[in-house]
């Protein structure tokens, strides 16, 4: 993994410097690099936010792309194993807005009494998300603030090819969060024990959003980890907020489970599904791409320092 650079084109060849980078890329406006005839119809923007507490995992995605503009909200109450899922359809430029860059950016989806906002402010080095839902079957208010100072928490960026175009992605580490969540009759004050992570994708693609699989786990109160799995960029392992790329690891379905094999012996992991939901990703010219969202519990071992420890608790959200 390379350190983030301030320019994305090779000065000799003027070709894009594709790959994974530690830190935020200095230039992330993919409109400067579009090259295909259909690029203007293939613009995508998406934000995915995960909030992990002792009681639940909240996943929020807002996106616009070829054939769709939507917001998804999923609540997984991890102790009881129950789920609540919600979806709203919108239109690009009306319900969905995006401005700025991965350092100073703003993304929002607004439809009636449903509002989802996500903002990054490089001046004060903070990220902020606000969600407000007032519906017959859900009353939710979320205000969450995280520090994005890269001296403490370096994200991972990627520049990928997408046909004749390019795709930019930013993945944050797990960040301590401050704020409050009100859900129907219950309220949670968010402090250092809760974690928030986000990923942002911008560029051009044949499909409205890109699947993003992630796995959260811990071995004790001190040591926790996360995995981000992507078909193009591979498997990224975060240990206590520090990322490492598992170059030789594989992740695939074996019988009814999903298994991670890592020849470097950093981690061994099995995901046991508890719910599988078929979904459709809208695509260019009306194309429909099938996807399965798989939630499951995890087991296995992971290395911290010189010691390999048993995973005590963990959850997976796979998009396959």
For residue range 272-282, what is the model confidence (pLDDT) as tens digits?
Answer: 999 999 999 99
Q: What is the CATH number of the domain that holds 39?
A: 2.40.370
Which residue shows structure tokens 């690891």?
A: 249
Which tens digits make up the pLDDT trace of 176-225?
Answer: 999 999 999 999 999 878 999 999 999 899 999 999 999 999 999 999 99
Average pLDDT score, the chain: 92
pLDDT at 144 over 80: yes
Identify the domain boundary among 173, 208, 243.
Answer: 208
Q: Kindly state whether residues 181 and 53 are assigned to the same domain.
A: yes
Whether residue 147 is found in the same domain as residue 61? yes
- Whether 266 and 242 have beta carbons less than 8 Å apart is answered as no
195 and 108 in a common domain: yes
- The tokens describing 100, both together, are 């700025």
Are 79 and 226 in contact by the 8 Å Cβ rule? The answer is no
Judgement on whether residues 8 and 140 belong to the same structural domain of the protein? yes
pLDDT digit string (tens) for 252-291?
999 999 999 999 999 999 999 999 999 999 999 889 999 9
25 and 140, same structural domain? yes
Tens digit of pLDDT for each residue in 228-258? 999 888 999 999 999 999 999 999 999 999 9
Last residue of a domain, one of 183, 208, 233: 208
- How many domains, in total, are found in the chain? 2
pLDDT above 70 coverage of the chain, percent: 96
Structure confidence at residue 164 as a pLDDT band (50, 70, 90): confident
pLDDT, position 34: 55
Are 285 and 139 part of one and the same domain? no
pLDDT band at 5 (very low <50, low <70, confident <90, very high): confident
Q: Identify the residue whose tokens are 């100073």.
A: 104
pTM given for the model: 0.94
pLDDT band for position 38 (50/70/90)? confident
**Domain ends where: 191, 208, 225?**
208
Kindly list the distances between the CA atom of residue 225 and the CA atoms of 143, 214, 310, 320, in Å, as whole numbers in the listed order. 24, 11, 12, 21
Question: Which residue range forms the structural domain that includes residue 229?
Answer: 211-320
Name residue 89's beta-bridge partners. Answer: 70
Residues 148 and 250 in one domain: no
Shared-domain flag, residues 157 and 172:
yes
Q: Do 197 and 285 fall into the same domain?
A: no
Structure tokens at 176: 């301590």
**Cβ 47 vs Cβ 62: under 8 Å:** yes
Asked if 119 and 192 sit in the same domain, the reply is yes
Mean pLDDT of all residues in 18-46 = 77
The half-sphere exposure of 138 on its side-chain side, counting CA atoms within 13 A, is 17
Together in a domain, 174 and 138: yes
Domain co-membership, 270 together with 306: yes
Within 8 A by CB and 6+ apart from 88, the residues are: 70, 71, 95, 109, 111, 114
Q: How far apart are CA 178 and CA 52, in angstroms?
A: 12
What confidence score (pLDDT) does residue 6 get?
Answer: 73
Q: How far is CA 316 from the centre of its chain?
A: 13
């Amino acid at each position: 993994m390379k350190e983030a650079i301030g320019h994305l084109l090779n000065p000799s060849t003027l070709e894009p410097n594709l790959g994974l980078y530690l830190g935020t890329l200095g230039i992330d406006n993919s409109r400067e690099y579009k090259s295909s005839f259909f690029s203007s119809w293939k613009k995508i923007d998406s934000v995915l936010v995960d909030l992990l507490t002792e009681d639940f995992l909240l996943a929020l995605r807002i996106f616009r792309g070829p054939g769709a503009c939507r917001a998804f909200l999923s609540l997984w109450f991890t102790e009881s194993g129950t789920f609540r899922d919600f979806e709203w359809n919108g239109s690009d430029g009306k319900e969905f807005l995006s401005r700025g860059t991965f350092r100073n950016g703003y993304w929002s989806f607004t439809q009636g009494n449903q509002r989802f906002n996500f903002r990054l402010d490089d001046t004060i080095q903070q990220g902020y998300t606000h969600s407000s839902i007032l519906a017959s079957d859900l009353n939710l208010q979320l205000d969450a603030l995280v520090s994005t100072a890269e001296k403490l928490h370096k994200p991972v960026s990627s520049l990928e090819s997408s046909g004749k175009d390019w795709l930019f992605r930013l993945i944050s580490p797990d960040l301590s969060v401050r704020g409050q969540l009100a859900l129907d009759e219950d309220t949670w004050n968010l402090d250092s024990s809760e974690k928030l992570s986000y990923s942002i994708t911008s560029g051009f693609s044949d499909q409205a959003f890109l699947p993003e699989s992630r796995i959260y786990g811990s071995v004790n109160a001190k040591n926790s980890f996360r995995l981000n799995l992507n078909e193009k960029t591979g498997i990224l392992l975060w240990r206590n907020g520090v990322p490492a790329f598992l170059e030789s690891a594989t992740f695939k379905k074996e019988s009814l489970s999903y298994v991670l094999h890592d020849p470097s012996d950093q981690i061994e992991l099995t995901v046991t599904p508890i719910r599988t939901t078929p979904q459709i990703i809208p695509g260019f010219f009306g194309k429909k791409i099938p996807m399965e969202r798989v939630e499951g519990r995890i087991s296995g071992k992971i290395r911290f320092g010189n010691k390999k420890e048993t995973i005590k608790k963990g959850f997976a959200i796979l998009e396959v």
